[in-house]
């Protein structure tokens, strides 16, 4: 008899059935368990600039993460997870509640993350990290007798920076229901960001977690990350879709590159802050968010003040540290401050313009507006690679090929998204056979040239909410 949980799940009921038949022994029979499904987010525009206060646009996809939670009484937390890199075999680890404490006090996030890694259970950090931030935030006094938690996915996935926000979102949703915690979805998203930042060590913003909790199918979730406000949901124009393409490779240094680009951006922020202090401007007007600077104000007042490059030790001597708790300056590294800083300012501007073009397209049906929206995506892609150093040969190849096919084939725009350095390309296109054929041809050529297998990430079906939590007996 097959004892694995299939990762090819179509809905929450399928997961619940397999949970009962194949992992039933892990849960107490007859006792209540809560099962949550959260959708994997597609970063359509603005995502990399979220930590500088940008507007972001995310879309829930058909890819989902499922989490089941039940209380237990043996002072342990047991986590079981199905991962693609284990050929479907569940990975299980039992964590004693004492792991969260030392001398009856909650250990800090860094110590807890290190303890989990020492158990060779880093794959479980998106789950157990949630438990730590809930304790640290005072949302729960303790974990009582413990928890049993099981995780699976609707499509092949590894526990990496791309899917961990969704595991975090589903875990938060299931635990809050299980324990009756009254935490709003936006506050849950910010808690999820803390787990990503301080437990996972990924210095991103809240957008992906928020999309997993708040997204709606067929609509772009508009989030203003200052720190987090739901601006609205923009319905896609008729017969226009956003499609994700996993290029089949993620470069190993992706998080390090992301962190370096973030460091340089905050170095730029520190210089701008110094300029404002020097001229006596009220710094609270921008509150430290680069995205609050207009492109014209940046060019007129600050661009020429930012060095194109500066060595870390020279920056520290002149300006001190950045004030960003998630990054630190390496004295021996040369940072490209100007380009990294201005990406965030221009990306926020592009995202606002993209929303305006799509909204007008929905009202008027003007095809030319889609061309303009697509050009904003191509500009974002270029900036990701050239200004931030987070591009890749693989994603450049896909975007260039799609751009050559163009609007005649129903392709309007494309850009690298997420953390960059490989990963996913998002495409703005018509939902027609001709456009889908253009994508298929592009990916066939790409696979033939590189040997990498691609995978499509489609938007969630109409009427499917991003997050569902069900009570199971």
> CA-based Rg of the chain, rounded to a whole angstrom?
22
Domain segments of the chain as ranges: 12-234+462-472, 241-252+348-457, 257-341
Residue 2, pLDDT > 70, answer: no
pLDDT at 285: 79
- Euclidean distance between CA atoms 133 and 206, whole angstroms: 14
- CA 68 from chain center: how many Å? 22
The residue with greater pLDDT, 6 or 293, is: 293
Mean pLDDT along residues 199-220: 94
For 299, the token pair is: 């060019």
Query: Residue 64: which of 409, 470, 467, 472 has the closest Cα?
Result: 467
The string of pLDDT tens digits covering residues 305-354 is 999 999 999 999 999 999 999 999 999 999 999 999 999 999 999 999 99
Mean pLDDT along residues 122-133: 95
- What sign has the CA pseudo-torsion 311, 289, 417, 167? positive
The string of pLDDT tens digits covering residues 375-431 is 999 999 999 999 999 999 999 999 999 999 999 999 999 999 987 667 899 999 999
pLDDT at 168: 96
Rounded to two decimals, what is the model's pTM?
0.93
Residue 116, pLDDT > 60, answer: yes
Classify domain 12-234+462-472 by CATH number. 3.30.230.10
Alpha-carbon dihedral 269, 337, 353, 281, rounded to 10 degrees: 30
What are the CA-CA distances from residue 323 to residues 154, 170, 267, 326 (Å)?
Answer: 40, 31, 9, 9
What are the CA-CA distances from residue 234 to residues 56, 204, 378, 415, 452 (Å)?
Answer: 12, 23, 21, 19, 34
Instruction: Region of 403 please: left (phi>0), alpha (psi -120 to 50) or beta.
Output: alpha
55 has which bridge partners? 224
The string of pLDDT tens digits covering residues 50-78 is 999 999 999 999 888 999 999 999 999 99
pLDDT at 8: 43
Query: What architecture (CATH level 2) is domain 241-252+348-457?
Result: 2-Layer Sandwich (3.30)
- Euclidean distance between CA atoms 143 and 128, whole angstroms: 12
Query: Residue 207: which of 370, 1, 43, 439 has the closest Cα?
Result: 43
Lowest mean pLDDT among 132-146, 274-288, 330-344: 274-288
């Amino acid at each position: 008899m097959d004892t694995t949980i299939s990762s090819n799940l179509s809905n929450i009921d399928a997961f619940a059935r397999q949970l009962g038949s194949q992992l039933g022994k892990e849960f107490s029979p007859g006792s209540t368990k809560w099962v949550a499904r959260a959708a994997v987010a597609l970063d359509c525009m603005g995502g990399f600039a979220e930590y500088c206060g940008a507007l972001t646009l995310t879309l829930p996809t058909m890819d989902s993460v499922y989490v089941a939670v039940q209380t237990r009484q043996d002072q342990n937390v047991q986590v079981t997870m199905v991962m693609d890199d284990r050929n479907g075999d569940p990975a299980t680890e039992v964590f004693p509640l004492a792991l969260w404490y030392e001398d009856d006090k909650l250990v800090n996030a860094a110590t807890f993350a290190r303890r989990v890694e020492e158990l060779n259970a880093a794959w479980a950090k998106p789950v157990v990290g949630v438990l730590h931030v809930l304790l640290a935030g005072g949302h729960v006094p303790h974990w009582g007798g413990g928890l049993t938690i099981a995780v699976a996915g609707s499509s092949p996935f590894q526990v990496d920076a791309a899917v961990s926000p969704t595991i975090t979102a589903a875990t938060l949703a299931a635990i809050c229901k299980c324990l009756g915690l009254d935490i709003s979805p936006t506050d849950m998203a910010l808690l999820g960001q803390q787990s990503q930042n301080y437990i996972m060590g990924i210095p991103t913003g809240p957008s992906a977690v928020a999309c997993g909790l708040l997204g709606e199918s067929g609509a772009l979730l508009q989030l203003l990350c200052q720190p987090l406000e739901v601006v609205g949901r923009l319905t896609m124009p008729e017969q226009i879709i956003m499609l994700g393409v996993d290029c089949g490779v993620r470069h190993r240094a992706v998080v390090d590159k992301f962190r370096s680009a973030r460091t340089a951006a905050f170095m730029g922020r520190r210089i701008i802050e110094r300029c404002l202090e020097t001229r006596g401007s009220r710094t609270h007007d921008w509150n430290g968010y680069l995205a609050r600077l207009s492109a014209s104000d940046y060019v007129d007042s600050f661009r020429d003040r930012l060095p194109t490059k500066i060595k870390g030790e020279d920056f520290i001597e002149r300006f001190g540290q950045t004030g960003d708790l998630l990054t630190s300056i390496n004295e021996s590294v040369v940072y490209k401050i100007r380009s990294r800083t201005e990406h965030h300012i221009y990306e926020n501007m592009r995202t606002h313009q993209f929303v305006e073009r799509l909204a007008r397209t929905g009202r008027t049906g003007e095809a030319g507006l889609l061309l303009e929206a697509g050009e904003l995506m191509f500009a974002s892609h270029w900036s990701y690679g050239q200004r931030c150093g987070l591009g890749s040969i693989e994603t450049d190849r896909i975007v260039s090929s799609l751009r050559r096919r163009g609007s005649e084939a129903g392709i309007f725009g494309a850009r690298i998204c997420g953390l960059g350095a490989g990963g996913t390309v998002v495409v703005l296109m018509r939902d027609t056979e001709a456009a889908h054929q253009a994508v298929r041809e592009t990916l066939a050529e790409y696979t033939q040239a590189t040997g990498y297998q691609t995978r499509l990430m489609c938007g969630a079906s109409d009427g499917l909410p991003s997050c569902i939590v069900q009570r199971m007996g």
